[in-house]
Structure 1
Amino acid sequence: MEKLLLNILKPSLKAFSDPKQFAYKCGRSTLDAAIVLHHNIVSCLDKGAKFVRTAFLDYTAAFDSVPRTLLLGKMNSAQTESWATRWLSSYFKDRKQHTVLAGKRSTSQLTESGVPQGAVLSPFLFSFFLHDLPNSPKVNFIKYADDLTVSVPVVSTSDCSYMNGFLAEVKDWSGSNGLKLNPTKCNTVDFSLRSEKDMHGLIQSHDCCNIDGTMIESKSSVSYLGISFSSNLCWSSHILIVSKKVFRLTYYIKKLRHSGITQSLIIQFINSCVLPIILYCSPLFFPGLLKKDHIILRRTLRAVSRVSAIPLTELNDTVVNRHMNSCKHLAKVILSDSEHPLYSQLFPCISSGKTRRNFINIYARTTKYKNSTVPYLARVLCEETNIRKELLQLLNQ
C-alpha cells in the first residue's frame, strides 16, 4: 500500500521536488552531492573569491522529530488529494515502537512525531518536509537527507555577516518546524587556495561563523558523506584514510589465502570489499591527486597485489577501468538530467561544430578548478584514451 501511495504522491508533488536534495532520488547519490559541493567551492575560488566558508549542519534526531500535523498541513497546502492525507493521518495514528536487546523486548511506546525509519514512504515524506527551507541566490545549499551544507563565497567582510544571518534563518525555520539544529555538533571549513599563514591573517579580519551567537567550531578538514574535505582542497588526508582501511583488509586477504580459499574467491573479495573503498567517489578526487598521493596509492595497490598474488598490472588495469566507467556513467547521468545542478556546466561542452570530437574542454583559471570533476569529465569525454594511459603510467611507475 505504501508503494502504491508513493507512486501517486511523487507526480502530484513534483513541483515541490528540491533539486538540492540528493538523497532518495533515482539517478542521484552521495557522489553527486559531494561533487556539487566541491564544484561550488572551486568554481567560486576560480572566479576570485578570497575563500569559501562552508557550514556542515547537524540536526538532532531529524527523522524522529518531524511534527506529523505540520507535515500533513504542508501536504494539504500543496493541494495533495484529500484521501491521500487522510490515509497518511491514519497511517501515523497510534503508531508504537519498541527495542529488542539481547532477546528482550521493551515496553511499546506511542510515537507522537517523526516519520518511521525504514518505511517505504518515509524518505520521500522527509525530503518533502524540508523543501521549504530558507534559500538565497548568494548561498549554495546542498542536502543529503538530513545532512545539510551551506556555502558562501567570501569576497568582502559583509559576506561572513550575511552567512551568519542566513544560518540564523535556518535555525528559526528549524525551530518553527519542530527540528533542532545543534550548533555544538556543526562544523565550518574555510576553503581557500591561499597558504595557511595568509588564511590565518585573512580570517582574523572577518566575522567568525555562528548561529544566533553560538560559535560553530572551525576545522581544517571534515568528513562529508565518507569523503575527507580539506581546507586547502587537497585529497592527501582522504588518500591516507583510504590507504589505512585497505591495509587493514590485507590481513584478511592473508588469512583467506592461508585457509586455502581459491584464487577466484580472493579476486571476488578484492573486487567487492577492497576496490570499492579505493574507488568510492573516485571521479571527485582522482583528478586532483598530487604526486605524493599517487605514491601512497601505488604502495596500497602493491600491498594488495603482494598478499593476493594478483599481478600489479592486472590490478591497476581493473582500477583504471572501473574509474573510467564511473566517470562516463556520471557524465551520462548529468547530461541526461536537465535538472541536475551540474547539467548547465557540462552541457555547453558538447561541440556544435564538425570537429573530430564531440566535446570541448573547459577553460579554468586555477589549477584546482582545472583538476576538479566537471572539467575532468569534459576531458574524459574528449580524450578518454589519453587519460586512461596517463592513469596507468602513474600507477605503474
Structure 2
Amino acid sequence: FRQCYSTEDQATYLSQEIEDLFQDKKLVLATWIDLRKAFDKVWKEGLLKKLRNSRIKGRMYRWIKAYLHNRKARVHLDGLKSKKVLLRHGVPQGGVLSPTLFLIFINDLVAELPQGVKVAMYADDLVIWCTNEYATVATKLIQRAVDALTSWANRLSVSINTDKCSTKLFTLSPKQKAGTIKINGELLKDKQPTYLGVTFDDRLTWKQHINKAAAKARRKLAILRKLSGTT
C-alpha cells in the first residue's frame, strides 16, 4: 500500500530474514494466513470504533462514516441492470481511502502476537514466523501466535480461510522436523508456499521457483512461435 514498496520488496525482506538466520545456524518456522476477502469483509462498526480510539473525530469522523455507510452496488450485464444491494461490510474497492482504512482496521494485529513472533503483511497476504534452534520450540510458539491471531480475527469478524493457510519449516538440518499447526482444530498443510509470486523451498535454493518461471516462459514462447508461424 505504501509508495515505493512493492511485492518484490516484501518477498525479499522475508527471504533475507531466513537467510540471515541460516547464517546463525537457526531454523525458521513460518505460517501463511489467508484472510478471506479481507477488503470486502471489513466490519464497519469495528473500523469506526478504531477511528474513535485513534482520536479521529468531528468533521473528519462524520465524513468517513458517511463514506462507509449506505453504499450500494448493482450488476450491469448486456444492457440489463440488477437491483441495488446494500453493502453491509467492507471498504470500497478502488477507493483512495480504502487502503488506509484497511490498515487502521488491522493495525493492532501485531500487538496480539507473542514476543518472538514476527509478521509481514502486504495487502491481505499475511505471514508470521519465528526462529529457534529447535523445531519443537518454534512449533509451540507459532501455535500460540496462530491462536492469538484467531482470537483477534473472531473479535473483528474477520474470516480465516484455513484451506489456503499453510506452514513451512526452513532449515539446513535434515534432522529438524516441525510439529503440527492447527487453526480452529484444522491441521494446516505443510507445503512449499508461494508468497507474492515467489515460491519458497525449505532451504531457499529457489529451484522450484526457477523451474516454475522457466516452464511458464516456455509456454509463452510456444504460443509466440505458433503465432509467428515458426517452430
Under a length normalisation based on structure 1, what TM-score does the superposition of the two structures give?
A: 0.54
- 1:61 paired with 2:37, answer yes
- 1:146 paired with 2:124, answer yes
- 1:238 paired with 2:209, answer yes
Q: Which residue of 2 aligns with 1:208?
A: 180
Once the two structures are TM-superposed, the CA of residue 189 in structure 1 deviates from its matched residue by 1.1
Once the two structures are TM-superposed, the CA of residue 70 in structure 1 deviates from its matched residue by 1.3
> Aligned equivalents of 2:181 and 2:217: distance in 1?
36
- Residue by residue over 1:135-169, the C-alpha shift from the partner in whole angstroms, topping out at 9 and shown as x without a partner, is 34411200011110011113232331121011100
> Aligned equivalents of 1:244 and 1:102: distance in 2?
38
Once the two structures are TM-superposed, the CA of residue 48 in structure 1 deviates from its matched residue by 2.3
Partner AA of 1:98 in structure 2: R
Q: Which residue of 2 aligns with 1:129?
A: 105
SS of 1:41 mapped into structure 2: helix
SS of 2:94 mapped into structure 1: coil
User: Is the 8 Å Cα contact of residues 59 and 181 (structure 1) preserved in structure 2?
Assistant: yes
- Residue by residue over 1:211-244, the C-alpha shift from the partner in whole angstroms, topping out at 9 and shown as x without a partner, is 243211111x121111111112111111111112
> Aligned equivalents of 1:105 and 1:143: distance in 2?
37
> Aligned equivalents of 1:245 and 1:119: distance in 2?
33
User: Is the 8 Å Cα contact of residues 29 and 129 (structure 2) preserved in structure 1?
Assistant: yes
SS of 2:179 mapped into structure 1: coil
- Residue by residue over 1:28-68, the C-alpha shift from the partner in whole angstroms, topping out at 9 and shown as x without a partner, is 1101110111112122222122x211101011111111111
Structure 1 residues 213 and 122, CA, compared in 2 at 3 Å: closer, same or farther?
same
Partner AA of 2:171 in structure 1: S
User: Is the 8 Å Cα contact of residues 192 and 233 (structure 1) preserved in structure 2?
Assistant: no
- 1:184 paired with 2:156, answer no
- Residue by residue over 1:318-345, the C-alpha shift from the partner in whole angstroms, topping out at 9 and shown as x without a partner, is xxxxxxxxxxxxxxxxxxxxxxxxxxxx
Once the two structures are TM-superposed, the CA of residue 255 in structure 1 deviates from its matched residue by 5.0
Name the Cα RMSD after superposition: 2.0
User: Is the 8 Å Cα contact of residues 29 and 138 (structure 2) preserved in structure 1?
Assistant: no
Structure 1 residues 32 and 223, CA, compared in 2 at 3 Å: closer, same or farther?
same
Q: Which residue of 1 aligns with 2:76?
A: 100
The structure whose RCO (Cα within 8 Å, separation 6+) is larger is 2
> Aligned equivalents of 1:185 and 1:160: distance in 2?
19
| Higher strand proportion | 2
SS of 2:3 mapped into structure 1: coil
User: Aligned match of 2:145 in 162, 166, 169?
Assistant: 166
User: Is the 8 Å Cα contact of residues 154 and 160 (structure 1) preserved in structure 2?
Assistant: no
Number of residue pairs aligned between Structure 1 and Structure 2: 228
> Aligned equivalents of 1:60 and 1:73: distance in 2?
22
User: Aligned match of 1:43 in 16, 20, 25?
Assistant: 20
User: Is the 8 Å Cα contact of residues 40 and 140 (structure 1) preserved in structure 2?
Assistant: no
> Aligned equivalents of 1:89 and 1:115: distance in 2?
11
SS of 2:56 mapped into structure 1: coil
Partner AA of 1:217 in structure 2: K
Partner AA of 1:71 in structure 2: L
Structure 1 residues 257 and 62, CA, compared in 2 at 3 Å: closer, same or farther?
same
Once the two structures are TM-superposed, the CA of residue 182 in structure 1 deviates from its matched residue by 2.2
Between structure 1 and structure 2, the one with the greater Rg is 1
User: Aligned match of 1:193 in 148, 172, 189?
Assistant: 172
Higher mean alpha-carbon deviation, 25-34 vs 35-44, is at: 35-44
Partner AA of 1:153 in structure 2: T
Structure 1 residues 102 and 58, CA, compared in 2 at 3 Å: closer, same or farther?
farther
Partner AA of 2:193 in structure 1: V
Q: Which residue of 2 aligns with 1:229?
A: 200
User: Is the 8 Å Cα contact of residues 34 and 125 (structure 2) preserved in structure 1?
Assistant: yes
Partner AA of 1:172 in structure 2: S
Once the two structures are TM-superposed, the CA of residue 103 in structure 1 deviates from its matched residue by 4.7
User: Is the 8 Å Cα contact of residues 76 and 82 (structure 1) preserved in structure 2?
Assistant: no
Paired-residue identity, %: 29
- 1:248 paired with 2:219, answer yes
Once the two structures are TM-superposed, the CA of residue 99 in structure 1 deviates from its matched residue by 2.6
Partner AA of 1:84 in structure 2: M
> Aligned equivalents of 1:225 and 1:62: distance in 2?
16
Gaps of 5+ in 1: 1-23, 259-305, 308-397
